């Protein structure tokens, strides 16, 4: 997949680990890697065997974001590839916008798929790499991690949903500061701002992340899907709209086999076994 730029492995618990695998580039992603990420998350969202998605990076780094060295260059899979190489100015605003919108389906899928998503972060998470981490439902972070928006440093406004997610997590004023000044944010400072779910010693990062993921993997998948939908919908909805979403999803989950299994397990004083039905 994209020359092994993205590695995917799903274990017996249904935990799908997606690893950004360009350590020599600090896991920066070019156009083929962006496409591979989007396809990988789409497949994970549809796969009934996947209960949880863990996103991480190889080589002690999460991701430096978009590969700046490839900006303005073409990719063989683009229909306008040769024209772009011959005359980069020829590519229209609309064509570039459409390609970016397709690439940005990757973080959108992390945010919207009906499964918990976890960013396991060590080392640098910068630019669109930071945006990917913010798009996940949870962030388990090594004490050696650092975050940086980076976009202003190369004269751009930012993509991959980072401004939306960061604004929701830390508030608009702090998000503007982090975007406009692009200062490096150490892991402890990020935790104090509310960007981190678990801050752990680096040597315990995998242990803590997968313990967290296994707890989610053992829970009722349908309930988790609609809990995520409830909370995501509430980010921008009125209280009336939120109540309507909660009511609809409560009835859906009450009617599931998993809910009935949970009631039986409670009555029989045993652990429930959820099947996602």
In a shared domain, residues 233 and 207: no
pLDDT of residue 70: 60
Q: How confident is the model at residue 156 (pLDDT cuts 50, 70, 90)?
A: confident
Domain ranges, residue 28 = 6-217
Q: Quote the number of domains for the chain.
A: 2
pTM of the full structure: 0.88
Q: What is the 3-state secondary structure (H, E, C) of the chain?
A: CCCCCEEEEECCCCEEEEEECCHHHCCCECHHHHHHHHHHHHHHHHCCCCCEEEEEECCCCCECCECHHHCCCCCCCCCCHHHHHHCHHHCCHHHHHHHHHHHCHHHHHHHHCCCCEEEEECCEEECHHHHHHHHCCEEEEECCCEEECCHHHHCCCCCCCHHHHHHHHHCHHHHHHHHHHCCCEEHHHHHHCCCCCEEECHHHHHHHHHHHHHHHHHCCHHHHHHHHHHHHHHCCCCHHHHHHHHHHHHHHHHCCHHHHHHHHHHHHCCCCCCCCC
Q: What does the pLDDT look like over 164-196, one tens digit per residue? A: 999 999 999 999 999 999 999 999 999 999 999
In a shared domain, residues 66 and 104: yes
User: Where residue 66 sits, what CATH number does that domain have?
Assistant: 3.90.226.10
In a shared domain, residues 213 and 224: no
Q: Across the chain, what does the average pLDDT equal?
A: 88
């Amino acid at each position: 997949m994209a020359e092994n730029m993205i590695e995917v492995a799903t274990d017996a618990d249904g935990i799908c680990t997606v690893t950004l695998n360009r350590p020599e580039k600090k896991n920066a992603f070019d156009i083929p890697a962006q496409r591979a990420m989007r396809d990988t998350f789409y497949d994970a969202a549809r796969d009934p065997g996947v209960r949880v998605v863990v996103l991480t990076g190889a080589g002690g780094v999460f991701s430096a974001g978009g590969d700046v060295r490839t900006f303005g260059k073409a990719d063989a899979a683009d229909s306008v590839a040769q024209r772009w190489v011959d005359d980069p100015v020829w590519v229209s605003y609309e064509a570039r916008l459409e390609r970016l919108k397709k690439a940005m389906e990757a973080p959108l899928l992390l945010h919207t798929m009906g499964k918990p998503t976890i960013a396991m972060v060590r080392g640098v998470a910068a630019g669109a790499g930071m945006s990917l981490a913010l798009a996940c439902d949870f962030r388990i972070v090594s004490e050696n991690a650092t975050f940086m928006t980076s976009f202003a440093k190369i004269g751009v406004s930012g993509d991959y949903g980072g401004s939306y997610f960061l604004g929701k997590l830390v508030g608009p004023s702090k998000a503007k500061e982090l975007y406009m000044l692009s200062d490096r944010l150490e892991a402890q400072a990020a935790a104090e701002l509310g960007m981190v779910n678990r801050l752990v010693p680096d040597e315990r990062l995998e242990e803590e992340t997968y313990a967290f993921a296994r707890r989610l993997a053992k829970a009722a998948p349908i309930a988790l899907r609609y809990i995520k939908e409830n909370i995501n919908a509430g980010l921008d909805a009125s209280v009336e709209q939120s109540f309507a979403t909660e009511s609809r999803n409560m009835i859906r989950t009450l009617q599931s086999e998993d809910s009935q299994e949970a009631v039986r397990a409670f009555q029989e004083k045993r652990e429930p076994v959820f099947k996602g039905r």
